[in-house]
Structure 1
Amino acid sequence: MNFTDIFQSRKEGYVPFEGEVIRDRKPISLIGSIKMARREGRSPVIAEIKPASPTAGLLRRIDDPAAMAYTFKQNGACGISVLTEPKYFGGSLESLRKAKCGLPVLRKDFIFHPSQIRESYAYGADSVLLIASFFDEDGLAKMVKESRHYGMEPLVEVHCEGDVEKAKSSGTALYAINNRDKDTLKVDLSRTGRLAPLIRGVKVSASGIETPEQLKTVLEYCDAALIGSALMRHPEPGKALRAMVYGGL
């Protein structure tokens, strides 16, 4: 099951969010938090709450996402990413809601419908992941605009040069370079180095970053990194994150 398959399965039987959205909060800027980490001498790491993955299966049983988010905050994370896709990643919207800890929170899912943007805001997200390859140019631009309508910063994920051009046209200021191929699921960290020079904006390298040395390499090209599996597999995720944050510069 690759990312394209999961995206299609997520769309099947989708029921649009119809809950009330009360715009009673100002989302926290992920871009601002990334820049602050740099100023403070920390490697900017968005730490991910990721119970499972299609490639590895169960990574970690997470009974208390609030405690995990707080642990990440205490160990230097500049943001929290929360998987909300339930079937293949073991995520939930309740985990998103509970992860609020004073850091910007990214909803990571296969988002395709404007109601998911409203839903993300309602559950406390400050940023949402939009995968460029799953939209046409106009569709991506509309989703970026909808995210900003709620004050959230969309993180647009790119896998290739075509995605980069589409993302640029969308008007996003925040890009994620995914080192994992969406079809084969193989990791190629050199993708960060190839695509980053094509992008003007705040850049995040995602997937396959396992060590402080690898983090240091991708941060030569990007402003931040998103790390999930390496933290989830470690007996002490906070300790692993601290080693990344303070050893990756």
Structure 2
Amino acid sequence: MLSDLVAGALADAERRRAARPLELVEAAASDRSPALDALTALQPAERVKIIAEVKRASPSRGTLAEISDPASLAVSYETGGASAISVLTEERRFNGSLADLEAVRASVSLPVLRKDFIAEPYQVFEARAAGADIVLLIVAALDQSTLQSLFDLSTSLGMTTLVETHSADEVSRALDIGASLVGVNARNLSTFELDRDLFGALADQIPSGVIRVAESAVKTAADVAHYRASGADVVLVGEALVTSDPVATLEEFLVV
């Protein structure tokens, strides 16, 4: 599944590149206001922090919500107390777009994450051109050289990188490139099975000074509390927010 998602994302990026060459995207990226400081926004605090996700669909769950106005949803997230906004921009299986990201960026003052299957530089420049402050790099999708080069490019553009892991080896690889924001995804992106305890099994390998993000398998405040008790500084939440009253749900989750 992961290899198919990456291949599709690269094919879609190539289609966009044909209409908008790299040099135009680079120019648009340089014209953007500087990226917001996501590490400060997500730094550990007395209570858990939430990255709230604009997510229409997923390969495992199908359609979750129509979300005709992603900007309005993002404003609700900010109102509810989220510390950052994640926007799914993958087109084929998540029904997202860079237009969603641009709309969200224009509507909120929080750092915004481009959530996609990023595997080459064009996508990183696209992210900054669309206003992203954070980009996602998935360790399982990239060899170490590519992971490092995309991390370095993102950093050179002023963005923070959320480096996503699924195993002890991947956590080590994330730390080796200098990641300051490391996610552990409970969802295996090859099988799409969930293991809510994976975060707790890996958290101790992420040193102090590196922000720990728990991803996936969040339905209730009890799930957030479970991650918090396991050492999560930040929890990324998508489905639970787009299928409920986002403000009320965020307020409930943020009590943890």
TM-score class normalised by the smaller sequence: over 0.9
List structure 1 segments (4+ residues) > 3 angstroms apart after TM superposition.
none
The residue aligned with 2:233 is 223
Are the equivalent residues in 1 in contact too, given 2:52–2:77 (CA < 8 A)?
Answer: yes
Question: Residue 238 of structure 1: which of 247, 250, 256 is its match?
Answer: 247
Query: In angstroms, what is the RMSD of aligned CA positions?
Result: 1.4
The residue aligned with 1:75 is 80
The residue aligned with 1:46 is 51
Question: Greater CA deviation, 122-131 or 206-215?
Answer: 206-215
The residue aligned with 1:86 is 91
Point out where structure 1 has 5 or more consecutive residues left out of the alignment. none
What SS does the corresponding residue of 2:60 show, helix, strand or coil?
Answer: coil
Whole-Å separation in 2 of the counterparts to 1:90 and 1:199: 32
What SS does the corresponding residue of 2:109 show, helix, strand or coil?
Answer: coil
What SS does the corresponding residue of 1:46 show, helix, strand or coil?
Answer: strand
The residue aligned with 2:4 is 5
Over residues 187-245 of structure 1, what are the superposed CA-to-partner deviations in whole Å (9 max), with x where a residue is unaligned? Answer: 101000011111121110000111111101111211100000111122x2222122111
Identity %: 33
Are the equivalent residues in 1 in contact too, given 2:155–2:161 (CA < 8 A)?
Answer: yes
The residue aligned with 1:208 is 217
The residue aligned with 1:182 is 189
Q: Which amino acid is 1:7 matched to?
A: V
The residue aligned with 1:162 is 169
Over residues 95-143 of structure 1, what are the superposed CA-to-partner deviations in whole Å (9 max), with x where a residue is unaligned? Answer: 0001120000000000001111111000000000000111111211111
TM-score, normalised on structure 2?
0.90
Are the equivalent residues in 1 in contact too, given 2:43–2:211 (CA < 8 A)?
Answer: no
> 1:33-182 to 2 correspondence within 5 Å?
33-35=41-43, 38=45, 42-100=47-105, 101-182=108-189
The residue aligned with 1:28 is 36
Q: Which amino acid is 1:116 matched to?
A: Q
Q: Which amino acid is 1:90 matched to?
A: N
How many residues get paired? 242
Whole-Å separation in 2 of the counterparts to 1:172 and 1:136: 15
